[in-house]
Amino acid sequence: MKLATTTDDFSRYYPEHTERIKAIADAGFKYIDLSFYAIDKINSPFMLENFKEYVEQLKGIANELGVK
User: Are the C-beta atoms of residues 9 and 38 closer than 8 Å to each other?
Assistant: no
CA atoms of 2 and 14, how far apart (whole Å): 24
Q: What is the pTM of this model?
A: 0.85
Whole-number Cα distances in Å, 21 to 31, 40, 49: 10, 21, 22
**Confidence at residue 37, expressed as pLDDT on a 0 to 100 scale:** 77
Mapped onto helix, strand or coil, the DSSP state of residue 6 is: strand
pLDDT digits 0-9 by tens, 38-68: 776 777 888 888 989 999 999 999 999 999 9
